[in-house]
């Protein structure tokens, strides 16, 4: 007999009793709703769109009319519409001004990490953030819970195939400029779980990584060294963004 992986056929509908029958009970207060998924709209009204009249830039291509779907693909790197900040990053003709330096110093000294501790490395990350090895000395204390408020994604711990979707979603929810630190062997290259059926061999397969901190787990001092390297990268704008590749940094047969 066929072994369906979905489990025994126990329930075929959503409801569990006669009062949940969608046909007989209308959607009234005090009754069960007829279904979880709303029916499609019969007709679509025109959307209300508020134009931006607060501040506009002189350059036509500075603000894209739509938000780019992806900001870390190489194909979009030279697309002016997609990456409006390209002109000032990594191009030698532009001489950074004092204002740029100030902005970079500000960014470097207050890199707010996102709480993305997945496994064992998270404990060492917490240890790096607490009293004995204090990351607050460099401004990295507030571990933000929301990706919208974070600068750095420190991926600490093994990335599994189930978690890959949520993690990439977190990365894409972080606003620019953002950096990624791969902490621990599992995120750098798969580590001790390279042969496993359910782990991703390194997060650089999914997102561009700026700093790799190897170790299993790296000592808190190691993580702090990695964060200081990241600070240097930020200050010197030596980052690989937007040319950061998304591919394993290690050859396939190693």
Partner 1 sequence: MTTHAPMGQHASEDDPRIMLDNQIGAFEAVPPYPPRTEREAEFYSLRDGEMFLNMGPQHPSTHGVLRVVLKINGEQVVDLDPVLGYLHRGVEKLCETSDYHHIISQVDPLEYVSSLFMEWAPVMAFEKLLDVRVPRRAEYIRVLTGELLRVSSHALFQGWMALDLGGLTPILYSFIERDEIVEMLAAITGQRMLFNYFRIGGVNGDLNHEFMSRLGDWMSRAAKQHEASIGLLNENEIFVRRMRGIGKLDKDTALRMAVTGPNLRAAGVPFDVRRAHPYSVYPELEFDIPVRGTRDGGDSLDRYLLRLDEVKESIRIIDQCLHNMPDGPVMARLPRLLRPRPGRAWAAVEAPRGLYGTYAISDGTDQPFRMKIHDPSFVNMQLVGMLMKGNLIADTMAVMASIDPVMGGIDK
Partner 2 sequence: MDRLLRRRLEARFADKLTGPVRQRHDETELRIGAADLTEVMTALHDEPDLDFAVLADLAGVDTGNQMQVTYHLWSATTPDWLRVIADGLPRDNPRIATLTGLWPGAEWMERETYDMFGIIFEGNRDLRRIYMPPDYTSFPLRKDFYLADDAARSPGGGVRHMEQTHAPSQATERVVRRTVKA
Question: Which residues form the interface with partner 1 (CB under 8 A)?
Answer: 6-16, 20, 29-33, 36, 38, 40-41, 43-49, 65-67, 69, 115-120, 122-124, 126-127, 130-132, 145, 157-158, 160, 162-163, 165-170, 172, 192-193, 195-199, 216-217, 219
Nearer to partner 2, 33 or 165 (CB): 165
16 binds partner 2 (CB under 8 A): no
Which of 207, 204, 179 has the alpha carbon at shortest distance from 190?
204
Q: Which does 34 bind (CB under 5 to 8 A by kind): partner 2, partner 1, none?
A: none
The arrangement of strands across the sheet holding 179-183 comes to 113-114, 152-156, 179-183, 211-213
> At a CB cut-off of 8 Å and minimum separation 6, what does 184 contact?
119, 120, 121, 156, 157, 158, 191, 213, 214, 215, 216, 217, 218
Q: Could you tell me the two tokens for 235?
A: 């200050």
42 binds partner 2 (CB under 8 A): no
251 binds partner 2 (CB under 8 A): no
Nearer to partner 2, 151 or 201 (CB): 201
* Residue with tokens 């707010």, as numbered in its chain: 112
Do the bridges between strand 179-183 and strand 152-156 make them parallel or antiparallel, or are there none, so unpaired? parallel
Binding residue (CB under 8 A) for partner 2 from 34, 127, 133, 196: 196
Phi–psi pair at 183, nearest 5 degrees? -105, 130
Phi–psi pair at 156, nearest 5 degrees? -120, 100
User: 102 by DSSP, 3-state: which?
Assistant: helix
- Total residues contacting partner 2 by CB under 8 A comes to 15
- Scanning 61-69, 116-124, 172-180, 195-203 for contacts with partner 2 by CB under 8 A, the matching segment is 195-203
- Scanning 1-9, 73-81, 204-212, 216-224 for contacts with partner 2 by CB under 8 A, the matching segment is 1-9
- Scanning 39-47, 122-130, 141-149, 189-197 for contacts with partner 2 by CB under 8 A, the matching segment is 189-197
Rounded to whole angstroms, how far apart are CA atoms 114 and 148? 9
137 binds partner 2 (CB under 8 A): no
Phi–psi pair at 18, nearest 5 degrees? -65, -25
C-beta of 10: minimal distance to partner 2 in Å?
8
5 binds partner 2 (CB under 8 A): yes
Chain residues binding partner 2 by CB under 8 A are 1, 3, 5-8, 161-162, 194-198, 253-254
């Amino acid at each position: 007999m066929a072994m369906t992986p979905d489990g025994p056929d126990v329930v075929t509908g959503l409801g569990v009793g006669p009062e949940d029958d969608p046909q007989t009970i209308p959607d009234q207060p005090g009754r069960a709703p007829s279904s979880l998924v709303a029916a499609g709209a019969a007709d679509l009204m025109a959307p209300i769109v508020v134009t931006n009249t607060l501040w506009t830039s002189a350059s036509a291509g500075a603000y894209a009319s739509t938000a780019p779907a992806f900001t870390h693909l190489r194909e979009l790197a030279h697309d002016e519409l997609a990456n409006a900040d390209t002109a000032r990053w990594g191009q030698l003709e532009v001489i950074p001004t004092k204002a740029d330096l100030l902005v970079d110093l500000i960014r470097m000294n207050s890199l707010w990490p996102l709480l993305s501790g997945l496994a064992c490395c998270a404990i060492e990350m917490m240890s790096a953030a607490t009293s004995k090895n204090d990351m607050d000395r460099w401004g990295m204390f507030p571990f933000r819970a929301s990706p919208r408020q974070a600068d750095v994604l420190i991926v600490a711990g093994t990335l599994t195939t189930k978690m890959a979707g949520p993690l990439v979603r977190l990365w894409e929810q972080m606003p620019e400029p953002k950096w990624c630190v791969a902490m621990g062997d599992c995120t750098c290259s798969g580590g001790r779980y390279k042969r496993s059926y359910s782990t991703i061999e390194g997060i650089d397969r999914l997102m561009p990584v700026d700093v790799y901190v190897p170790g299993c787990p790296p000592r808190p001092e190691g993580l702090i060294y990695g964060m200081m390297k990241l600070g240097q990268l930020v200050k010197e704008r030596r980052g690989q963004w937007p040319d950061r590749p998304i591919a394993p940094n290690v050859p396939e047969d190693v």
